[in-house]
Structure formats: C-alpha cells, structure tokens
Amino acid sequence: MADAVTELFSAPLTFNWTLSFRCNFSCSHCYSRDEQAEELPTADILRIIDILAEKQVPFINFGGGEPLIRDDLFEIADYATGKGLNVSMNSNGWLVDTAAANRLRACGFKSVGISIDSAEAALHDDFRNMPGSFDRAVAALDHLRRAGVRTTMSSVISRINYRNFRDLLDLARAHGVAQVYLHNFKCSGRGLKNREDLDLSPEEWKAFYVEALQVKQETTDLLISFDDPVISSLPGYDEKSLVSGSSCGKLSLHMRPNGDITPCGFIPLVVGNILKDDFDTLWYDSPILKKMRNKEASGKCMDCGAFEKCLGGCTARAFAVTGEFNQPDPHCWK
Amino acid sequence: MASSFDPETLGGKITQGRNRLLKKLLRNPDIVWRVEKRREAEIVKALEAGEDVSDKGSVILIISGMMHQLNLVGGKIWSLCDGQRSLGDLIEALAVEFEVERDELAEDVEGFVDDLLQRGWLKHG
C-alpha cells in the first residue's frame, strides 16, 4: 500500500540528522545514549549539505546526542542556511545561554526545540539525570525568545507526565513557545530497557490521546503536535498528514554521525551511506525503505478497519518489540 | 491533500496595460518548494509522446503543512518567478519552450500568475 506522495518524491522533505551521539545528559528514555559511531569532520559534513541541497531536501533537523556538543554546529548551520535549507534542532538547552542563542539566530535557525519532560523541576531533573537541567532548559527558552528565535518544546510522554501534560502546555505558554510536541514514547535503546517503568499500557495511551486531542481542539494560542500514526482513527484527529502511517522513510530519513542513513532514529537498520552510495539508488531502490512504504496488515491489523489510516501504527515500535515492520504497533489498543 | 493547477483552465485577460507586464514577480519566500526531477522527466517524455500531461504534477509546494502540485507549465512559471523576471519575460521564455499560439499563451500565463498573486504565493518584487 504505497502512497501516491511517496511515488512522487525524489527525496525526503526532512533529514533528521544526528551529528553526534555524545551528550552531556544521560536520560532514562534515550534511544541513542548507548550508541556509538565515528563522527565526520566538518569538511565531510559540508559535503553532505551540498548533497542535500542538490537533492533539494528542504528541511534539516539536528538532533542527537546534543547538537551543541559539536563546536562546529554554527558553521554547519550557517553553511546549510546559505544553501537555502531550513535548519532547526532539538536540544536539552543546557548549553543555550544568551551568546549561544544569538549565534543560533545569526546562523539562521528557523526554530529550536528544547526538551522538557515535566513542569515539575525535580521530576524533570530526575528523568534527565541532571540536577539543574529544568532551570537551564527553561532559561534556554527565554534566551532564544529574546534572541528572536522561534521556540518549540518537546516532551516525551511517559508515566512521569501523561496525567499532567496540561502543566507542560502552561509552561510553554509562560515562556512564549510557539509549538509543543507531545512525543510518543519509543521503546528503542534505553527506552526499551526501561520500558516497564516508563511506557503506558495501550488503554492508557488511548485515554491520554483522547484527552489530549480534545485539548488540542480547544487550544488556539499554542500549536500542539503528536506525530503518532496510532491515533489516526481516534475522534478529533484532524491532522492532514501527507502520508498514512509512519512518515519515516517516506517524508523523512535519519542520518547517523558517520553518514549512515536509517529510516528513522529509532530503527537501527542502515539503508546506505550518504557519502559512499548513490542517494537516488538508496531512496528509490532500498529494500528496507520499500518495505516501510508498502506495509501489509498482519496479526490483529488484518481485521481492523483502521489499518488503511494508521498502516499498523509506528513502524519503529513494532520493529523494536517484534523485529518485524508489519506487526501491529504495541501501543495499539484495538 | 494535493491539487494541480492547469494553466489551460485558468483564464485571464491582459487588462492593465504594459506596466503590468513589466513588474517583476517573486515567489513567497516562506513557501518551501521543489522540482521533482524524475517525475518531470517522465512528464516531458509523455508530452513528447503526445499525451495530455496537464493534470500531472512535477513541482511540489509545501504551504502550512499542505502539499500542492504544479503541472509542467505551472512549474516552469513558478521556477521562473525569481524576482528578476516580469510577466512579459515569462511569456517570452515559455513561448520559446512550448508550441502554443502567442495570445493564448499570454492569456493563460497571466491568469495563472493572477491566481498565485491572489493566493499570496507570488508577489511583485
């Protein structure tokens, strides 16, 4: 079941780019904290940007690892924006002081997302295993706003915050945040190891999303995003995604620090390397991407009327738990 | 989700004289867009084979999270609106590339450009 859009595209719209797996934090849910990969020198990274510009990939989002761990982040972003790419990033905020915020503005970041997982400072600090991280993250939002950078807030929904997500929205409002991403929990990396402590049951996910979708419908002063295909059959879901099911491998790809491409950051299957392989061949002919773009119902999805919309939900979660793309999303309540 | 713009169905008449033909046209810089090159090559091939390609998109625009498609002629017009070219320049360029009667071409191009100006996707530079 391939989307017409996927057939049309000559490249993804977004590259989620992990420049480094290094991080100054050690979070309980991190998908990449235990990953290792050789990091590319600046010159190679600029060569990759040339490739992305040539392929007309419009958006780059730097993640990690902590992007600001790399001293050359500003140079890289400056080069990318000079090539006409739209650059954003996700950060834990620790290294975003006034000077850094001004530099991020100067090198053309369209937006910067700060991760905050609880409106309670102690809970956030504990989850992130970093005392003082809540205060630094909130301060980062303020530094960025004063520098004129659009801010977003990323909150991974888990057992520590799903009952109090409204407090996160209030926190965002208080600090001039434009958009809040209530990310679905991924059972990858440490997220898989700590799944029993952090993940919700399928019924709890449903209850959370029903409530959160209602709040989203009632909210006019803040953009709220979920990006979770498992919710596409719920009442109140009106997001007009360009594709059904997971967008990974269709609208977006992920790049590891050594240039290896994976469908998304949570699926550790390497499609190829952007510096060593022909990009068009990877994009059009990769067996992994083809499989992600042509999911087939299996298990309980076979008799489910929602499959056409959700295509089995999050492929990364299904793969992490079962080793199969086509298995139902373990978060699915149906 | 997606829509195509067919210059042949977007009418319009040149009514505001020569000045209008000379104003430079510029794409809205907030609009993300891309030429889908492989698709474009397929469409050109189909056109050369005499097929009707007016409803086949080759340029995508992402506007407020929605995707729109422009057909081959619409995409050419869009690509040319770089702030350096006027409506008259567009007509000249397209007349070289497409075998269409001149007045008909001018009328269609103006109608298409008017539509995009009204949408805020183009502006006068």
| DSSP string covering A185-246 | P--STHHHHTHHHHPPPHHHHHHHHHHHHHHHHH--SSEEE---GGGTTSTT-----SSSS-
The pLDDT of residue B11 is 41
pLDDT, mean of residues A158-182: 96
Q: Which residue of B has its CA nearest to A244?
A: B1
Cα separation, A267 vs A245, in Å, equals 15
Question: In this complex, which of B38, B57, B62 lies closest to A10 when CB atoms are compared?
Answer: B38
pLDDT category at B3 given cuts 50, 70, 90 is very low
Quickly name the fold that domain B24-124 has: Outer Surface Protein A; domain 3 (3.90.930)
Are A5 and B36 in contact (CB < 8 Å)?
A: no
Look at residue A1 and tell me whether its pLDDT is greater than 60.
no
**Range picked from A43-52, A184-193, A310-319 for highest mean pLDDT:** A43-52
Strand partners, A190: none
Higher pLDDT, A189 or A211: A211
Question: Do the Cβ atoms of B67 and A5 come within 8 Å?
Answer: yes
For A19, phi then psi, to 5°, come to -75, -30
Which stretches of chain B sit within 8 Å of chain A by CB?
1-2, 32-39, 57, 60, 62, 65-67, 69
**In this complex, which of B34, B57, B69 lies closest to A58 when CB atoms are compared?**
B34
Cβ contact, residue pair A86, B32, below 8 Å: yes
Work out the angle at residue A32's Cα, subtended by the Cα atoms of residues A95 and A273, and round it to the nearest 5 degrees: 105
Contact at CB, A9 and B36, closer than 8 angstroms: yes
B6 has pLDDT over 50: no
A172-192 residue pLDDT tens: 999 999 999 999 887 777 777
Q: Which residue has the higher pLDDT, B101 or A30?
A: B101
Task: DSSP letter for A67, please.
Answer: G
Give residue B100's pLDDT. 85
What is the structure's pLDDT at B20?
A: 74
pLDDT value at residue B120:
96
**Span B7-58, pLDDT tens digits:** 334 444 444 556 777 899 999 998 999 999 889 999 999 999 999 998 889 9
Taking CB atoms and an 8 Å limit, are A8 and B57 in contact across chains? yes
- pLDDT exceeds 90 at position B114: yes
| The pLDDT value given to residue A133 | 96
- Nearest residue of chain B to residue A110 (CA atoms): B30
Residue of A nearest to B56 (CA): A8
Higher-pLDDT residue of A88 and A237 is A88
Size of interface A-B (CB pairs under 8 A): 34
Range with lowest mean pLDDT among A240-254, A295-309, A313-327, B25-39? A240-254
A311: pLDDT strictly greater than 70: yes
Helix (H) or strand (E) holding A293: helix A287-293
CB-based contact A5 B2, cutoff 8 Å: yes
The residue type found at A196 is: E
Query: If you ran DSSP here, which 8-state letter would residue B98 be given?
Result: S
DSSP A328: P
In this prediction the pTM is 0.88
